[in-house]
Amino acid sequence: MKKLNNINPFTWNYSPAIETTDHIQINPQYNLYINGKFVKPNSKIYFDTYNPATEEKLSEVALANEKDVNGAVLAANNSYSKIWKKMPAKERAKYIFRIARVIQERSRELAIIETMDGGKPIRESRDFDIPLAANHFFYYAGWADKLNYAFPTKTPQSLGVAAQIIPWNFPLLMAAWKIAPALATGNTVVLKPSENTSLTALKLAEIIRDCDLPAGVVNIITGPGSTGSFMVNHPNIHKIAFTGSTQIGKNIQHSIAGTNKKLTLELGGKAANIVFEDAPINQAIEGIINGIFFNQGHVCCAGSRLFVQENIAEEIISKLKARMETLIVGNPLDKNTDVGAINNKVQLEKIKTYIKMGNEDGITLYQTLGELPKKGYFCKPSLFINAKQSSRVVQDEIFGPVLTVQTFRTIEEVIEKANNIPYGLSAGVWTDKGSKIFNLTQQLKAGVVWANTYNKFDPSSPFGGFKESGFGREGGLHGLIPYLKF
């Protein structure tokens, strides 16, 4: 064939590779998982849950009112004092192992549902969310009978009932982060997922039921903020673990003032990702991309403020733009999708407002050229070049695929700018020089500092913030402490 012998340069677009969903079972309606059973809500109200990529209704989920919360807390207290507290730690561990294994077995199903309900690319839910969720259960299962060795010379004791409220950005993973250490330390749980993403938590309830966990040890109830507030204010809970926005975190702290309830908060962030002139530039570009566009930027530790040393700014920005153009934005179920759908409509509006705000501040906006799908909640990967430290888009957590770029001249300047923010969850440093890295980790007010990489998680390493990003640590040995008294 003559034509083929002179193939001209061409754009090689990847054919759609859509993950099949026909084997996925999503019930038309979900009830509350209380005391080992799925029960109808006293509120008699069900709310809809949508696929943000198609705006289609996936299912309807029960709304838990005060009476339902009371029921769940009662079940958790009963099973705590009658079963879970008395059970040998080794036996507790077996249940946690079992949950981990079933998550692994059903990982494909969970990944697909996570993507359908939350809009994140299947590549991420398949390769990140679900495996890491299973790993957290495996990891904490190992700790259950070794608590005395974790805290030598002390006698760690469980607290009672933990009320856990989790956000919509990593629904199953956050559930794992919360439930696994609570169970390992001998506490029982009432967990509420975000009303935007209840489905994988409810699938986890099915898994927990199928694992024959004693009734009431884990209760999963669904509903909006009001449900969470009933949980927080309930007199018979002993511990609150919350991941979500800083404002709600503050409200929780207000409302439990004067009580004995223990609290950990994992709140917002606005991380500085700092690139020095001696950085491995091409790998730093990847790190910047992963730092901000991972999970559409719905990551509390997203590297949303990029600081570039002035003499390499031009190179970094032009490479960043080119790299952004190769990101595939679209159907989250397509295995080739890099950036999926914005989790919900409210969030999309919020992101749009910030983009408008940045424009009004006169900051140069760059957005990718590709078309977005007609239906669903999508946002183009966006870059604010020459952003100003005082601008709202630099100061506020946008929680979307929006990166601000600022430059710096000296190391002192960048430390000052990086710390000049109410948040302090994470930061990134890119340099080939080890001494510079350690200097910065000492001076950056951030719970996690990544060097020459970004967004790395492991069950064995603690995670948590400074300042208005919250307190308490999750993951690792440190993640046991909030669930114990000594």
Active site residues: 266, 300
Is 132 near other proteins (CB under 8 A)?
Answer: no
The DSSP 8-state label assigned to residue 480 in this structure reads G
Cα–Cα nearest to 290, from 167, 127, 437, 406: 127
User: Quick one: which segment of 4-12, 35-43, 48-56, 80-88 binds other proteins (CB under 8 A)?
Assistant: 4-12
Total residues at the site for other proteins (CB under 8 A)?
34
Is 10 near other proteins (CB under 8 A)?
Answer: yes
The DSSP 8-state label assigned to residue 128 in this structure reads I
- Rounded Cα distance between 173 and 155, Å, is 30
Is 1 near other proteins (CB under 8 A)?
Answer: yes
- Rounded Cα distance between 171 and 197, Å, is 6
| Residue 174 three-state SS | helix
Binding test (CB under 8 A) with other proteins, winner from 105, 278, 371, 416: 278
Is 7 near other proteins (CB under 8 A)?
Answer: yes
- Whether residue 83 contacts residue 217, with contact meaning beta carbons closer than 8 Å, is answered with yes
Q: Which of residues 291-350 bind other proteins (CB under 8 A)?
A: 315, 318-319, 326, 335-336
- Whether residue 118 contacts residue 133, with contact meaning beta carbons closer than 8 Å, is answered with no
Binding test (CB under 8 A) with other proteins, winner from 119, 193, 244, 287: 287
Least distance CB 477 / other proteins (angstroms): 25
Least distance CB 53 / other proteins (angstroms): 18
- What is the DSSP annotation of 15-62? PP-BPP-TT----SEE-EEETTEEE--TT--EEEEEETTTTEEEEEEE
- Whether residue 151 contacts residue 486, with contact meaning beta carbons closer than 8 Å, is answered with yes
- Rounded Cα distance between 201 and 174, Å, is 9
Nearer to other proteins, 76 or 329 (CB): 329
Least distance CB 131 / other proteins (angstroms): 14
- Rounded Cα distance between 166 and 169, Å, is 9
User: Quick one: which segment of 75-83, 168-176, 273-281, 297-305 binds other proteins (CB under 8 A)?
Assistant: 273-281
User: Quick one: which segment of 1-9, 87-95, 145-153, 301-309 binds other proteins (CB under 8 A)?
Assistant: 1-9
Least distance CB 331 / other proteins (angstroms): 13
List of residues contacting other proteins (CB under 8 A): 1, 4-15, 17, 123, 127, 278-284, 286-287, 315, 318-319, 326, 335-336, 432, 452-453
